[in-house]
A and B are shown apart, each in its own frame.
Chain A
Amino acid sequence: EADIYQTPRYLVIGTGKKITLECSQTMGHDKMYWYQQDPGMELHLIHYSYGVNSTEKGDLSSESTVSRIRTEHFPLTLESARPSHTSQYLCASRLGTDHRAFFGQGTRLTVV
């Protein structure tokens, strides 16, 4: 079973608030990812990281930012939440030599 954890699982927050979604993995994986998934829709990559101090934007435009100060930790921040940010956010990781990506349980964000 994959050891990748996301908190919180569910979050309801007001417009304009700053939020940080946490993602941690204990597998020593170098590569980490954030995907966004709306109900019934495909997952879209919004950020990824090759390792410490490395971050890149994915294909889907996102107003969020990420950081990778430690190998095991890849938090995602929204400076000012809007209703359009309502979605499920999924964190994933993999070892560079292994193509399998392992996902966390997700954070379901609702901005009211």
Chain B
Amino acid sequence: EDQVTQSPEALRLQEGESSSLNCSYTVSGLRGLFWYRQDPGKGPEFLFTLYSAGEEKEKERLKATLTKKESFLHITAPKPEDSATYLCAVQDFGNEKLTFGTGTRLTIIP
């Protein structure tokens, strides 16, 4: 059974203080690993898809990386508007569902 574990559960950073969020996963055959951002009371917003170890994707202050066992979401010089819950999900071949982690709740303090 696919599993996703995210750490830390919550992270508070000062504005401009860079850090990384971790997503550890086990899957029989990785079709894709996905990062989403979720604001309170809203649906998840798609950020990145990673398909194979060594792949990296960037968007503004966010960079996602992938190894065979985990993914990192690096946040560089974050701003208060980056505050949200960041969700990681995996999909394996032959399976329609996304298996989600419980997320990391990120708070950026001005």
**Which residues of A are in contact with B by a Cβ distance under 8 Å?**
2, 6, 31, 33, 40-45, 48, 50, 56, 58-59, 90-92, 99-106, 108
Contacts and interface: CB of A to CB of B under 8 A. Distances in A.
B96 A106 contact: no
Contact of B46 (A41, A50, A56, A100): A100
A94 B34 CA distance: 13
A42 B100 contact: yes
Nearest to B31: A99
B100 A99 contact: no
Contacts of A40: 102
A100 B97 contact: no
A100 B96 contact: no
B97 A105 contact: no
Interface residues of B, number: 23
Given A42-B100, A56-B96, A103 B45 contact: yes
Given A2-B46, A43-B89, A91-B43, 5 more contacts: A42-B99, A42-B101, A43-B87, A90-B44, A103-B46
Contacts of A91: 43
Interface of B: 4, 31-32, 34, 36, 41-46, 49, 87, 89, 91, 96-103
12 contacts: A40-B102, A42-B103, A43-B89, A45-B97, A48-B96, A48-B97, A90-B43, A103-B43, A103-B45, A103-B46, A106-B41, A106-B42
A105 B102 contact: no
A11 to B, nearest CB: 14
A42 B97 contact: no
A50 B42 CA distance: 25
Contacts of B36: 103
Nearest to A104: B43
Contact of B98 (A6, A43, A104): A43
